[in-house]
Amino acid sequence: MSARSKTKYQRILLKLSGEVLADDKEHLSPVVSRGIARQIKEIHHIGVQVAVVIGGGNIWRGLTNSNRGMDRNTADYMGMLATVINSLALQDALEQEGVLTRVQTAIEMKNVAEPFIRRRAIRHLEKGRVVIFGAGTGSPFFSTDTTAALRASEIGADVLLKATKVDGIYDCDPKKNPQAKRYARLSYFDALRQRLQVMDSTAFSLCMDNNVPIIVFDMFKAGNLKRVALGETVGTLVTEK
């Protein structure tokens, strides 16, 4: 049996927050980036096609700075540039691990990355390259969660994996309430109705409309990313029913 036949998902979209690249000393840690790259390499090695959307919150938060008086459009464009910085850092980490990688951006910057072209992105995946999507959707007012849902739909991903520091979706903040209930499975409708904050409503709605399942899981537990790719029950699954 081939490695690919053992995996449940052939093509995934991995959503990372910018904060996952930070540590206690640096907003963007090469050491942390290499650790994440090794986890991606592990599932790439068993035949999974991997696309990544990464946020920029470790460097800049558009909405936060808009609330502090900056023009929202300008703040969001700055946030998009922060995601490109993180994308290039992750690309470097992956290539140091021997994984062929392409960065595509929604805002054209041809000296550092390719423009986002859907067919080209799919072809890269088919050729075994990891594709990192930077610069969000290219428009302000959209989060990188929404970008992840959009790109997952566009490339025909089997699943959107939302990497977090908690082991799934809870009915309230488990750090504040030790009695918080973790969901093993949720419908898109319930996630929207309960206004669960793990992803924004636009992202949930896009996945619902295009039937892209979402798995919210703790990526910082060793082996979890590979376990998800193999189809093991990890975190919270959000689907139609």
Which stretch of DSSP H or E encloses residue 101? strand 101-105
pLDDT interval class at 195 (50, 70, 90): confident
CATH number of the domain to which 230 belongs: 3.40.1160.10
Q: What are the beta bridge partners of residue 159? A: 12
Helices (H), 46-134: 62-67, 72-96, 118-126
C-alpha distances (whole Å) from 53 to each of 78, 134, 175, 176, 240 are 17, 7, 26, 29, 23
Closest CA to 207 of 147, 150, 143, 141: 150
Query: For residue 13, what are the β-bridge partners?
Result: 51, 160
Residues spanned by the domain of 199: 3-239
Number of domains in the chain: 1
Task: Give the contacts of 150 (CB within 8 A, at least 6 positions apart).
Answer: 137, 206
- The pLDDT confidence band at residue 1, using thresholds 50, 70 and 90, is very low
Query: What mean pLDDT do residues 217-240 have?
Result: 93
The span from the CA of 222 to the CA of 227, in Å, is 10
Helix (H) or strand (E) holding 161: strand 159-164
Is the pTM higher than 0.75? The answer reads yes
The lowest-confidence range among 39-43, 73-77, 162-166, 233-237 is 162-166
Rounded-to-integer distance, Cα 41 and Cα 90, Å: 12
